């Protein structure tokens, strides 16, 4: 088989694997990136996550509405995040951190740092 054909075959296999991973569901994708929180449909996703001490968590707002990322103990408070904007915080100490949106206080999540 010529090299060019081999390359094309492996490329198609690679794309197929990517599509399969996408079809397997967003919860799987989230589990593979523990430092990432998506804000969508007025929810933090995942609503509960565990990271290692020293990890930086990134929040990204996908909604057209602005949201904020606020710790109820006052450790951090983001500015209002417009669509596709991100906020990052580095968790140095182990503990359980409650997070909510300052604009929509019913939006909540818990981040456990171990
Ligand atoms: Cu909000």
Rounded Cα–Cα distance for residues 37 and 87 (Å): 10
Q: What is the whole-number distance in angstroms between the Cα of residue 81 and the centre of ligand 1? A: 9
Query: Between residues 76 and 4, which one has the greater pLDDT?
Result: 76
Q: Are 41 and 104 in contact (CB under 8 A)?
A: no
Q: The tokens 């409650």 sit on which residue?
A: 98
CATH H-level, domain 34-113: superfamily: Cupredoxins -  blue copper proteins (2.60.40.420)
Residue 2: its pLDDT value, please?
54
Query: Between residues 101 and 26, which one has the greater pLDDT?
Result: 101
Q: What is the dihedral angle through the alpha carbons of 36, 40, 43, 45, rounded to the nearest 10 degrees?
A: -30
Instruction: State which residues have CB under 5 angstroms from ligand 1, the bound ion.
Output: 67, 101, 103-104, 107
- Ordered by start, the domain boundaries in the chain are 1-32, 34-113
Q: What is the whole-number distance in angstroms between the Cα of residue 99 and the centre of ligand 1? A: 11
What mean pLDDT do residues 64-79 have?
A: 98
Task: Give this prediction's pTM.
Answer: 0.71
Q: What is the whole-number distance in angstroms between the Cα of residue 13 and the centre of ligand 1? A: 40
pLDDT at 67 over 50: yes
pLDDT digits (tens, 9 = 90+) for 4-37: 544 554 444 444 444 444 444 444 444 445 699 9
């Amino acid at each position: 088989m010529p090299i060019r054909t081999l390359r094309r075959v492996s490329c198609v296999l690679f794309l197929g694997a990517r599509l399969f991973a996408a079809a397997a569901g967003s919860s799987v994708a989230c589990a593979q990136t523990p430092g990432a929180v998506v804000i969508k449909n007025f929810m933090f996703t995942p609503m509960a996550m565990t990271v290692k001490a020293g990890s930086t968590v990134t929040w990204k707002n996908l909604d057209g509405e602005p949201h904020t990322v606020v710790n109820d103990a006052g450790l951090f408070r983001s500015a209002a995040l417009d669509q596709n904007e991100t906020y990052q915080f580095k968790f140095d100490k182990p503990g359980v951190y409650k997070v909510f949106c300052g604009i929509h206080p019913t939006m909540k999540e818990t981040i456990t740092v171990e």
